[in-house]
Amino acid sequence: MIVIEIFKGKSISEHRIEIVERKGTGHPDYICDSVMDAISVALSKEYMKEFGTILHHNIDKGLLAAGKVDRRFGGGKVLKPMELTIGDRATFRAGEKEIPVAEIAISAAKKWIKDNLRFVDPERHLKYRIVLAPGSEELADIFQRRGKVRVANDTSAAVGYYPISPTEKVVLELEKYLNSEKFKNKYPETGEDIKVMGLRRGDVLDLTVAMPLVAGYIKSEKNYFERKDVVHKEMAKFLRGFKGFKNIEVHFNTLDEKGRGLGGIYLSLLGTSAEDADSGQVGRGNRVNGLISVNRPMGTEAAAGKNPVSHVGKIYNVLSHKIAREIYEKTEGVKEVYVLLLSRIGTPIDQPQMATAQVLLERGRKINEIAKVAEEIFEREFYSINKFCMELSKGKYPVC
């Protein structure tokens, strides 16, 4: 069933208060989400190669347990490696063919870490614990059933929206800039574990950024605060490029306190707090559009690592944002779009129990003027859902 209705609330930008968070590349929660999804992509590729289809798997249970380091000015050493637990379900055998699931999982994890965390050696700084097992008979049987479209393996709801607000854009773009190759080449002393929290009050945006400086580049407490000041000014310069706010203030590593040595600064050996301070878990990080927006409706599913052909917790989460964007871009007089999708377990994923677009209209526009176009977008997206799922399986759409 497709329902198009008016969203009767205020635009997000009309709220007096807006709170938005973004966890960056080296944050332990981001690492877990990204690694588990990389494993799903790698397994999907192997299943397609060997069997011409994607078999049952859900690699959506992951825990990164913090290690222990000896950190000092100028460097340090790892005393205890981090431990990455890779869990839930996968297909280990099909017919007479064995699939080396554990090897594929560890290889994908190591590749992601090597490609994204400059100071983490995936061989020396992490241990890997595989707790994957075969799936239940009934859920695995979904992949043997006839039909062009897989049935949903869960009764699950998802919500997406578009466009992102100016506040969301600033928070998202600031983290991406701080973790960009350009920025890291210019300021190699900055770590990847970045958290940006934005608070908009009216037209004033207040940002709090946590980002460690890397011990190997910092020779003293004095040197730390000198480099911190340089990086802080670079952030302020970048933020001047965003318009629409009366003022944007940025606060950087606000727990720091001069005169306390290593106890008063955010210094990291490997660029991530998972080295000794903070563990990570799948599902605690960004939503699939890269943001944690407190004012927006949010689903509870962790999309990362779920299989891309029957698990609606992944498919509908990403698809709801995609459909919201299409409705916004292809209809005139629309301020915001919220899309809600609900599956029923055992029903083909192209036949949701409910598909709803809640549309915030410009003054003078009527819902019947855009309803037909919105319905056609829903129908087109569900008609081509197999193509969308294959794109998901190749990692085309980010999930964090």
Predicted confidence (pLDDT) per residue in 239-256, tens digit:
999 999 999 999 999 999
Residue 137 has pLDDT above 60, yes or no: no
* Residue 94 confidence class, pLDDT cut points 50, 70, 90: confident
The terminus-to-terminus CA distance of the chain in angstroms comes to: 29
Is the separation of the CB atoms in 215 and 72 below 8 Å? yes
What percentage of the chain exceeds 70 in pLDDT? 97
Residue 13 has pLDDT above 60, yes or no: yes
Helix (H, G, I), strand (E, B) or coil at 48: helix
Is the separation of the CB atoms in 153 and 312 below 8 Å? yes
Q: What is the pLDDT of residue 134?
A: 87
Half-sphere exposure of 177 (CA within 13 A, CB side): 16
- β 126-133/82-90 pair status: parallel
User: Measuring CA to CA, how many Å separate 271 from each of 116, 179, 210, 356, 400?
Assistant: 11, 11, 12, 42, 19
Is the separation of the CB atoms in 28 and 272 below 8 Å? yes
Where are the chain's structural domains? 17-24+166-280
Quick one: how many helices (H) and strands (E) in the chain? 9, 19
Q: What is the pLDDT of residue 155?
A: 95
DSSP 55: P
CATH number of the domain located at residue range(s) 17-24+166-280 in this protein: 3.30.300.340
Is the separation of the CB atoms in 184 and 263 below 8 Å? no
Is the separation of the CB atoms in 76 and 215 below 8 Å? yes
Q: What is the pLDDT of residue 7?
A: 94
Predicted confidence (pLDDT) per residue in 166-216, tens digit:
999 999 999 999 999 999 999 999 999 999 999 999 999 999 999 999 999
- What value does the mean pLDDT take over residues 210-228? 98
Predicted confidence (pLDDT) per residue in 306-349, tens digit:
999 999 999 999 999 999 999 999 999 999 999 999 999 999 99
Mean pLDDT lowest for which of 52-66, 126-140, 362-376? 126-140
Cis? peptide before 348, omega within 30° of 0: no
Q: Match 């990692």 to its residue by tokens.
A: 395
Residue 371 has pLDDT above 80, yes or no: yes
Residue 397 has pLDDT above 80, yes or no: yes
pTM of this structure: 0.95
Helix (H, G, I), strand (E, B) or coil at 11: coil
* Residue 96 confidence class, pLDDT cut points 50, 70, 90: confident
Is the separation of the CB atoms in 30 and 285 below 8 Å? yes
Residue 50 has pLDDT above 60, yes or no: yes
